[in-house]
Amino acid sequence: MRLTGFKALTFDCYGTLIDWESGMIEALKPLTGKLGRALSRNEILEAHARHESAQQLQTPAKLYRDLLAIVYRRLAEEWGIAASWSECVAYGRSVGSWPAFTDSPGALQYLKRHYKLVILSNTDNESFAGSNERLQVRFDAVYTAEDIGSYKPSDRNFEYLLENMESLGIRKHEILHVAESMFHDHAPANKHGLANCWIYRRYDQEGFGATINPGKMPRYDFRFNSMADLAKAHQEDLRS
């Protein structure tokens, strides 16, 4: 299997292209700043992952920015902190300002010359529009949880992806799914027979951060620690 053997790259966005963990930690400071005790970065992210995943199961049609407002409230309740609803809403609205990983725009611009680029993300369209500006590339298609009415790792999201890729003239064996999250992306990619590439952004950290532990680790066809490494490997594949 070679990187040059695919026609389209389908991307998770948050955690893969956008540094959502740094974005979350910064946007949660109005809440964590009120804590009477210090929580580690991973403790904050793991609590967030637990509440986010549970809420996505309970309200799969809720917009991501609105769902995050509920997550903020649940975290405040868990930590025993008073939080106004306006604070909760402000957190949900922060998604579009979360930073891109520094290598994402350049790598995407390079890969755009060789593949169709598609987003499959657990976000809403308004939030992604802000993120897309930071990524500095025009995607050939964008499929969000708002469009689909459910959140990854639901089968429905991957079925939607495959059906719509067919309309672009791309068949399943021509797709490489590129993502960081084992729980949201690689486990369902395995289930649906998609070739997959793990962008292991947390290679130098413990645990799974803002994503749920998947239990049994899914398999993957490629692994890189950054989007820059993926672009470099593609260049090497072309030369060979």
Tokens representing residue 73 in the block: 């409230």
Model pLDDT for residues 198-230, shown as the tens digit of each residue: 999 999 998 999 999 999 999 999 999 999 999
SS (H, E, C) 125-162: HHHHHHHHHHHCCCCCEEEEHHHHCCCCCCHHHHHHHH
Residue 171 has a pLDDT of 96
**124 is known as an active-site residue:** no
Residues 180 and 12: beta-carbon distance below 8 Å:
yes
Q: Order of strands across the sheet with 175-179?
A: 141-144, 116-121, 8-11, 175-179, 195-199, 222-224
| Residue among 189, 188, 182 at smallest CA distance from 209 | 182
CB neighbour list of residue 38: distance below 8 Å, 6 or more residues apart: none
Please, is 226 exposed, middle or buried when counting C-beta atoms within 10 Å of its C-beta (0-12, 13-18, 19+)? middle
Model pLDDT for residues 43-81, shown as the tens digit of each residue: 999 999 999 999 999 999 999 999 999 999 999 999 999
Residue tagged active-site, from 12, 19, 124, 185: 12
pTM for the structure as a whole? 0.94
Task: Measure the CA angle with vertex 122, ends 116 and 128; round to 5°.
Answer: 65
Which domains can be identified in the chain, with CATH numbers?
3-19+100-239 (3.40.50.1000), 21-97 (1.10.150.750)
Model pLDDT for residues 170-191, shown as the tens digit of each residue: 999 999 999 999 999 999 999 9
